[in-house]
Amino acid sequence: MPPSTKDLDSAFQAAGAKPGLEVWCIENQQLVLVPNSCHGKFYTGSAYIVLNTVFPKSGPPQHDLHYWLGNDSNKVDSGLASDKALELDAALGSCTVQYREIQGQESQKFLSYFKPCIIPIEGVFTSKLGNFNGEYQVRMYTCKGDHVVRVKEVPFLRSSLNHEDVFILDTASKIFLFSGCNSTIQERAKALEVIQYIKENKHSGNCEVATIEDGKFVGDSDVGEFWSLFGGYAPIPRELPSVQDQPVDSSVKLSWINLQGKLCPTGSNALSKEMLETDKCYMLDCGAEIYVWMGRQTSLTERKTSISAIENFVRNEDRSSGTHLTFLSEGLESSIFRSYFANWPKTVEQTLYEEGREKVAAMFKQQGYEVKELPEEYSEPLINCRGTLKVWRVDSDKLSPLSDTEQTRLYSGDCYIAQYTFPGNGRDETLLYAWLGSRCIMEDKAAAIVHMNALVDSVRTNPVMAQVHEGKEPAQFFSIFQRLIIFKGGISSGYKKFIEEKGMIDETYNENKVALFRVQGTSPDNMQAIQVDQVSASLNSSYCYILQTEESIFTWIGSLSSAQDHNLLDRMVELINPTWPPLSVREGNEPDIFWDTLGGKAEYSRAKEIPKYIEDPHLFVLDITGVMQVREIYNFTQDDLVTEDILLLDCQKEIYIWIGLHSAVRSKQEALNLGQKFLEMDVLVEELSLETPTYVVTEGHEPPFFTRFFVWDHSKANMHGNSFERKLAILKGKSHILEGHNRTPRKANSRNHTPDGQRGISVSSNGRGRSSSPASIGMRSDYKSSHNGLPSSPDPITRKLFQGFSPSYNSPEELVQLSGSPAVEPAVSSESKESFQKNGKEGSENLPIYPYERLRVLSSNPVAGINVTNREAYLSTEEFHEKFGMTKAAFYKLPKWKQNKLKMSLDLF
């Protein structure tokens, strides 16, 4: 049971009720809350408790609890810190993950809270520090790390310098950066961030900065001044080989910790989850990492005994000071911990989260605080979805362009390439999708990658590439297509040949056969009909369905579906079969013929679908020089996108591979295979399917749906040079940084979009606007423009990644011949222009006026002969203002998605 409010240390009152850091220090054996202004200042003679609370977009709050022990802290304070950390854990419903942090050996997660660094201060913390004005003390530090930097003070002596590391010499008037000749660019860049921190916090921003390179002694006054501080220049001796630490036993051992604190080995090498009993504590010894697992039925006293036992074990076994201790409560096991146990279920028990959350909420309420959920994640499209869409069907070595109608009708047995061009931040952007049907053949999958590779080389706009599997499409994919029907079967010659050779029945959709479609989506701009098996078990009460028979059309409305679902159902029926009037059937009132068509009534899902718990994104560095290794970056920002790196952003619903322009990509495997390898690494992935959508993004061409995970500064994204050169330019205040030589000029290409940035419209049969199709927009003109102009050059990086999939043809012209696409420029009809003009104020002033009730989508007396995509334009000025709460002029200045959202709420869309 968690301690009551009366038993809880007063310093912990309301702890964890807000996101962010809270820090306490042990002072005279009492807890003292450290003010925010002092976060990151750690005294070597003190012990601290640090709580980091994150409120994710969904699910309960997440708490990471650390206790930090300075090298000079006494045993009493250290023991009190671990006991108080356990007390705080219990107060938070035993829902924290705890870490012991030793000065100089801190975990990367801990260091990430205090960017750019922590610099331990000699002495003991006191809450009554005064101001001391004395002579400025010269200090020297060494910096290690390329993403999270470890700063350590070293003696101000020449002998402290070496060729391997980066050093900072802080004097009263100038800060020197000395870079060992064997140090990395990333380490030098991170050291510049530390210098910026020292300059702002110790010099009030007023001091000079000088950079000194090891081994380069030109006539530079800064170099002379630096060495004069050491009494003159002398060569730095080569380091002797360091004495290697004794190797740690790499075998993993599990021990039970009894009530007396004695470790009792389990005596089994094969570990399973069943070995962990909920009323006991265990130690999992992994060598450099030790985990303490605490069952939910253990008492606070048992947990304190276990932690003391483990700390004694580390001391008595003479383990390295770098050994990390992590304390896990049952139900909060990390993925790495779980990986040591055979067949550990990947699904975390949500009830444990909720149980802990209820305890926390009850405690906060008792103290006068309320725990509230954060709002749902913003679901509107993050890019302009009115750009130009071209779709091709993959047929072995040939690409077949699809017409307007065809490109919204895909088949599960086929693969497709979709090229989407949209206006971005001052320039056109391109997104390339390879959509792989769930029943496509392997040959077509491989061919799809080959064709997409060829398109990457031909497009001027440095496209973002994505591989998408049927059934795992991101919402943005559907928003680009707007309306999409996915049929069973396939049309490609490879698919037809495959089913013929296997003697399989051809299930390819035929309008004269029985077919069942599940309707889904969130709005008319994002709706789909997916053909499923025509059996009762395919039904689900949360959805609406369309059942096509040889003689009629049924629409089935699930009891848990919404009014929005019903609206989408009506629209999709018109697209699938506009000739037959549908027979509407509500769940529970189906006629016998309905069940007979589905082969008889059977059980199906009737439970409300609950959104899956989604964690916040994780960022990893990929090292692909040998066997691929990954390292997580905690509390990441845009500054962690280092130009020498290959990074992977794991958003659970999709992953992004980010390629820095200066990354040393030596692997011959393509970027999508990097993503696939990551998905196969179960140690780091939480329930990710091998079919998770994978994007490849090159530095300098990051789309909005990638940058949304960062606080994004476009001026940083446009800087050139390696990471050290960029940081140095920022530090020295060079605001006139030019764009990199590998960047595409930030100039819009107006060929494919209209003046307001909306997609060029051609009115289809159902009145909804779409762009010109690949049938009318030739590939040849695109390929010519990409090779006759000034092609941008970050793409060699992407081409390196795709070396494993070299196309069998070498020129764009050959690809044009394979596709059979004519070189015809698009034409915009007068009808299209009229339709577009009615989106604005000018086009609505001369239209006839109709009352709101007749303009509604579900009106009982609808107006005929109007443009149904702009119903609001026919309202009078007075009624428009009454319904929308603004003038027409103000309305048409809003973003298109916001216009559509308002119209939808008024049943005008």
Tens-place pLDDT, residues 719-728: 888 899 988 9
Each residue's pLDDT tens digit, 762-773? 323 333 333 333
Sheet holding 428-436, edge to edge: 398-401, 388-395, 415-423, 428-436, 464-469, 694-698, 655-659, 646-650, 618-623, 629-633
Instruction: Give CA 188 to chain center in angstroms.
Output: 28
The domains of the chain, with CATH numbers, are: 20-113 (3.40.20.10), 139-230 (3.40.20.10), 253-340 (3.40.20.10), 390-482 (3.40.20.10), 510-606 (3.40.20.10), 618-727 (3.40.20.10), 852-905 (1.10.950.10)
Residue range 280-295, pLDDT digits in tens: 999 999 888 999 999 9
Contact 225, 210 (CB under 8 A): yes
Q: How does 715-734 read in b/e, with b if 16+ C-beta sit within 10 Å?
A: eebebbbbbbbbbbbbbeee
Predicted confidence at residue 249, as pLDDT, reads 53
Neighbours of 595 (CB within 10 A): 13
Please state, in angstroms and rounded to a whole number, the distance separating the CA atoms of residues 901 and 898: 5
Q: Residue 375: what are its φ and ψ, rounded to 5°?
A: -65, 160
Mean pLDDT of 243-255: 65
Check residue 407 and give its pLDDT. 95
Among the residue ranges 340-344, 532-536, 541-545, the one predicted with the least confidence is 340-344
pTM passes above 0.75: no
Q: What value does the mean pLDDT of the chain take?
A: 79
The pLDDT value recorded for residue 686 is 58
Rounded distance between C-alpha atoms, residue 759 and residue 776, angstroms? 15
Which helix (H) or strand (E) element contains residue 719? Answer: none
* Rounded mean pLDDT, 852-856: 89
- Winning range, highest mean pLDDT, from 309-318, 490-499, 826-835: 490-499
The mean pLDDT value for 157-172 works out to 94
pLDDT over 70 (residue 439): yes
Q: Which range is least confidently modeled, 169-183, 385-399, 668-682?
A: 668-682
Q: What is the mean pLDDT of residues 557-573?
A: 94
Range with the largest mean pLDDT of 154-168, 652-666, 859-873: 154-168
Q: What angle do CA 408, 761, 390 make, to 5 degrees?
A: 40
Predicted confidence at residue 481, as pLDDT, reads 95
pLDDT over 50 (residue 759): no
User: Which of 72-81, 241-250, 690-699, 858-867 shows the lowest per-residue confidence on average (mean pLDDT)?
Assistant: 241-250
pLDDT tens sequence across 779-835: 323 322 333 332 333 333 333 333 333 333 333 333 333 333 333 233 333 333 333
What pLDDT sits at residue 448? 92
Query: What pLDDT is stored for residue 682 in this prediction?
Result: 54
pLDDT the model gives residue 240: 56
Residue 337 makes CB contacts below 8 A (sequence gap 6+) with 284, 291, 293, 326, 328
The model's confidence at residue 130, banded by pLDDT at 50, 70 and 90, is low
Q: How far apart are CA 511 and CA 576, in angstroms?
A: 9
Label residue 492 by pLDDT band (50, 70, 90).
very high
pLDDT average, residue stretch 850-855: 91
State whether residue 659 is helix, strand or coil: strand
Report the sign of the C-alpha dihedral through residues 441, 447, 449, 455, in that order: negative
| pLDDT on residue 521 | 94
Share of the chain above pLDDT 70, in %: 77
DSSP classification of residue 242: P
CB atoms within 10 A of CB 189: 23
pLDDT for 748: 28
> Ranked by mean pLDDT, which of 365-379, 660-674, 702-716 comes out on top?
702-716
Average pLDDT over residues 399-405: 93
How far apart are the two ends of the chain, measured CA to CA in Å? 54
pLDDT at 218: 60
CA distance 282 to 266: 10
For residue 741, what pLDDT band results from cuts at 50, 70 and 90?
very low
Q: What pLDDT score does 589 carry? A: 94
Question: What is the widest separation between alpha-carbon atoms in the chain?
Answer: 99
What single-letter amino acid sits at 718? N
Q: 102-106, 200-204, 569-573, 660-664 — which is least confidently predicted?
A: 660-664
Q: What is the pLDDT of residues 191-241, one digit of tens each?
A: 999 999 999 988 988 999 999 999 876 667 889 899 999 988 888 887 655
pLDDT at 140: 96
Q: Omega of the bond prior to 807 within 30 degrees of 0, cis?
A: no
Q: What is the pLDDT of residue 335?
A: 78
Which residue type occupies 903? Answer: K
Residue 171 pLDDT exceeds 50: yes
288/310 Cα distance (integer angstroms): 14
Residue 358 confidence class, pLDDT cut points 50, 70, 90: low
| CB 673, CB 660: distance < 8 Å | no
CA angle 133, 137, 138 (to 5 degrees): 155
Query: What does the pLDDT read at residue 316?
Result: 86
User: What tokens were used for 516?
Assistant: 């069942």
3-state SS class at 782: helix
pLDDT of 894: 81
Kindly report which listed range (431-445, 447-461, 780-794) carries the lowest average pLDDT score: 780-794
